[in-house]
C-alpha cells in the first residue's frame, strides 16, 4: 500500500472527540521516523524516541493531557512487534486516549543511498554472524516489522516524498487545537546605527522617508503618536512604498510557511528607531494579524529606552540620551545617531552658512542625501 500524493493514508483518522492524541511512529531505519517525531514536536506533542517497550503504558499514564508521540523500532530495548500491537490494543480501550500507529517506509535502494550518504551503520547489519551489508539489515528489518506495517493506521512512503510535503501531510493529520499553528511572524522596529537585528529574515530600510526628528514639536513623540503618523504618511513616497511592501509580503509569507518555516522576523529600520520604523512596524503588524498570522510586535529601541528610564536615576540620563528618550526635565533628548545626522547637514552646507546664506533642503524634513531601498 502506498500513499496518494495528497493524502496521509487511505484510512482517515478516527474522531477523538477531544481525546488526548497518542501517536506511535515506527518503520524502517532511514525512512524518516526522526523527522516525523520532530514535526509532531513542532505541533505541540511531547516527543520521545526509542523508550523501552515495557514503559509505554507508564508514559501514557504520566503524561497528563499533553499530546504524546513515541518512536519505537528495532532499536528499542525488548522490542517485539506483536507485543507492541497488544499494548496499543490495550491503550485503545482507555477512555480519553486516541492512539494511532504510523509506519514509515521507503524503497530499499533509497534507504541504501541514505545510509551511504550519512555513513551510518544500519542497526540490524552490525557485521559478524548477522552480516554487515545494509541490504541484509533492511531485509531483516522489513520481516521483523511486517506485522506493524499491516496494522498501521497510516503508512508513509518517503521514497519520493520531499520533506516540505511530508511536513504538510503530518500537519494536516495531526495538528491539535492547543498546539502552535503555522508560522509565527515577528515584526521588529530598530535603529540602523545600533546594528542590524541578528534574527532578521527580511529587512526594510525606511530612511528614505522624511524624518519627524527635525520637527521640534514631533521630536519627543514616537511613531505611535497620531501627529508623527500624519507627518510620515504625508510624504508622497509613503503610500506607494506601503503598497509595494505589502504586495511583496502578502504572497511571500504563505510560501515560507508552506516550506515548513516556523519563525519569520520582518525588521524595519530608520535612524533613531523611534518614529518611521515604529509607525511602519505597528501598521504591518496590524495588517498581517488581519490575515490570520500570529504576530509578535517589538520595538527594540523604544523597549531599551523604557528599561533605562525605569532603572536607577543616575544611569537613566546618559544612557537614555543615546536612545532618543525624553529627559527627566521633560525636554527632548536627541539620539547620537540623529545628532550625527544634523552634524552632517551642517557640514554639507557649511560654505553657504559661512557666506551668510544656507540653501534650503530639496525635501524639508528628509535626511540629505535621500536614501532609497
Domain spans of the chain, in order of start: 20-174, 184-354
| pLDDT exceeds 50 at position 372 | no
pLDDT confidence tier of residue 58, bands split at 50, 70 and 90 = confident
Q: What is the pLDDT of residue 162?
A: 85
Query: pTM of the full predicted structure?
Result: 0.53
Q: What is the pLDDT of residue 311?
A: 61
Burial of 257 (0-12, 13-18, 19+ CB in 10 A): middle
CATH of domain 20-174: 3.40.50.300
Burial of 4 (0-12, 13-18, 19+ CB in 10 A): exposed
| pLDDT exceeds 90 at position 161 | no
Q: pLDDT tens for residues 209-261?
A: 999 999 999 999 999 999 999 999 999 999 999 999 999 999 999 998 887 78
CA dist 262 and 42 (Å) reads 8
Question: Average pLDDT in the 341-359 region?
Answer: 41
| Poorest-pLDDT segment among 11-15, 71-75, 103-107, 181-185 | 11-15
Q: If we measure between CA atoms, which residue out of 31, 28, 26, 93 comes closest to residue 57?
A: 93
More confident residue, 57 or 9: 57
Question: Average pLDDT in the 86-104 region?
Answer: 91
Q: What is the pLDDT of residue 321?
A: 36
CA dist 253 and 268 (Å) reads 16
Q: pLDDT tens for residues 269-299?
A: 999 999 999 999 999 999 999 999 989 999 9
Amino acid at each position: 500500500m502506498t500513499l496518494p500524493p495528497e493524502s496521509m493514508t487511505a484510512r482517515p483518522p478516527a474522531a477523538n472527540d477531544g481525546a488526548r492524541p497518542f501517536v506511535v511512529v515506527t518503520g524502517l531505519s532511514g525512512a524518516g521516523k526522526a523527522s516525523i517525531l520532530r514535526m509532531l514536536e513542532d505541533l505541540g506533542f511531547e516527543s520521545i524516541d526509542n523508550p523501552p517497550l515495557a514503559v509505554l503504558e507508564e508514559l501514557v499514564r504520566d503524561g497528563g493531557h499533553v499530546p504524546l508521540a513515541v518512536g519505537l523500532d528495532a532499536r528499542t530495548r525488548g522490542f517485539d512487534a506483536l507485543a507492541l500491537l497488544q499494548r496499543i490494543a490495550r491503550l485503545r480501550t482507555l477512555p480519553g486516549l486516541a492512539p494511532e500507529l504510523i509506519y514509515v517506509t521507503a524503497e530499499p535502494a533509497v534507504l541504501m543511498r541514505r545510509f551511504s550518504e550519512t555513513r551510518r551503520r544500519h542497526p540490524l547489519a552490525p557485521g559478524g554472524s548477522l552480516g554487515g551489508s545494509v541490504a541484509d539489515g533492511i531485509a531483516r528489518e522489513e520481516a521483523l516489522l511486517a506485522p506493524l506495517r499491516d496494522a498501521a493506521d497510516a503508512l508513509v512512503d518517503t521514497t519520493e516524498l520531499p520533506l516540505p510535503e511530508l511536513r504538510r501531510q503530518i500537519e494536516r493529520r495531526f495538528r491539535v487545537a492547543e498546539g502552535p499553528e503555522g508560522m509565527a511572524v515577528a515584526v521588529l522596529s530598530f535603529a540602523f546605527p545600533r546594528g542590524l537585528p541578528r534574527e532578521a529574515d527580511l529587512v526594510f530600510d525606511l530612511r528614505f522617508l522624511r524624518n519627524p526628528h527635525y520637527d521640534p514639536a514631533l521630536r519627543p513623540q514616537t511613531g505611535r503618536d497620531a501627529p508623527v503618523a500624519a507627518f510620515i504618511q504625508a510624504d508622497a513616497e509613503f503610500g506607494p512604498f506601503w503598497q509595494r511592501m505589502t504586495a511583496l509580503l502578502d504572497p511571500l509569507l504563505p510560501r515560507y510557511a508552506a516550506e515548513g518555516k516556523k519563525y519569520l522576523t520582518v525588521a524595519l529600520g530608520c535612524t533613531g528607531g523611534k518614529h518611521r520604523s515604529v509607525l511602519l512596524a505597528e501598521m504591518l503588524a496590524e495588517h498581517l494579524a488581519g490575515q490570520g498570522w500570529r504576530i509578535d510586535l517589538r520595538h527594540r529601541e523604544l523597549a531599551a529606552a523604557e528599561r533605562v528610564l525605569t532603572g536607577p536615576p543616575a544611569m537613566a540620563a546618559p544612557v537614555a540620551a543615546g536612545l532618543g528618550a525624553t529627559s527627566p526635565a521633560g525636554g527632548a533628548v536627541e539620539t547620537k545617531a540623529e545628532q550625527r545626522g544634523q552634524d552632517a547637514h551642517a557640514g554639507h552646507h557649511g560654505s553657504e552658512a559661512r557666506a551668510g546664506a544656507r540653501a534650503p533642503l530639496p525635501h524639508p524634513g528628509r535626511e540629505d542625501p535621500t536614501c532609497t531601498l
